[in-house]
Structure 1
Amino acid sequence: MNFNKTAIATVIGTALAGVTLSATSGDLKAAPNYKSFDNAQVIKKQNQQINVATASGMSNQYDAQLGKTTFRWAGKSQSVPSLGAVSLENKVSHAADYYLGKLTGFSSSKGGVAQSVLVNTHDLGRGSIIAKYKQEVSGVEIFNREFNIMMDREFNLVASSGYFTSQRAATTVTSAIKDIEGAFGDASESISAAFGAMGEIRTL
């Protein structure tokens, strides 16, 4: 059976896009429905997130639509990781993972359906150190879900930005991925069915 490679890429791309949209939809469903609260309660929650005492004295940035803090300065009482027994080459990743766990509940060292993955670190030997994480659910990267950790030269947290898909949304996406396999069965049959629907299938 001869398949058009462009068509195959289109089919696979469409399937992955569907998974991405499921995650985005799950996030929106997991976000608080502010219509069920009065305006005073909404403002109170925003103020609680924004006006947290920070080491810099600056205010955090809170997205009311998402119901998430998207930029957070280190708090005045922020705990620090113990790095005494950690080798020099592993201190950045160890410290960043510690702060990631404190801020999001996720960790690249822990298994699970939703997994944070350290993509890269930015360290010029001077100035701030930045660790960038992406998020995967059942091995599939979730589009536009990333978290950044900024530290000083002593590995103290300076600030963080971004947000991850919630555990609730991750469970929804995992179910969708399992349903895809159950609905389409064998991969070759899935591709044949897709080409048949498009009228582009060719056989020898």
Structure 2
Amino acid sequence: MTKKDDKRNDKHDEKKKLMIAKKNKKRNVSRLGGSGRSLNVFANAKSNNNQYNPALIKKQRELYKNAKNVNKYKKMLKRQNLQNEEELMLQPKPQNVDLSENLNETEGDKDKNERRKPRKKDSAFSLEELYKKKHEEKEKERMEREAIFKEKKEQREKAEARRKTLREQMFKKTRKGQPVMKYRIEHLLETIQGSAGNKS
């Protein structure tokens, strides 16, 4: 073979390799689910989850409902403020006010403040009494709850002990492995007598 033929074969081999590489690349891309995204696109991508999600729907409903309630509340406040402003505008303002009356009022306020000081002690004392009363009531309630709980626990334990003894008696067996009928018959008799006693 000549050099020309070798060059042609080399070019042909290179083309063949490129074709195979392209095929492999296409195969890999399709196998991996399409071409990859750039870093920016990947970072900014939002997941498109179009599946039915009741929890998400419920949350959105709550958000809308809360927003609606907030808007209603704001509107109501605006209306109330407007009404209050209108009422204030409609009320006549007092024009003739004596300064001497104002002075008397301020002196009266001072007297009231002086009177309030001992009341604070009384109020603190009464608050302490209220606290003690509430505390005692809570303590009584807690004690009652504990007593009820203990009583129920005792009843439960007694019932369990009764059931345990009954179970042991029912499962007793003779040496040969036969069940002891004495306890079973006694149990049947008790139940029949109990049901007869309830009917009469």
TM-score, normalised to structure 1, is 0.16
Structure whose CA Rg is larger: 2
Which structure is richer in relative contact order (CA contacts within 8 A, separation 6 or more)? 1
Q: Which has the higher helix share?
A: 2
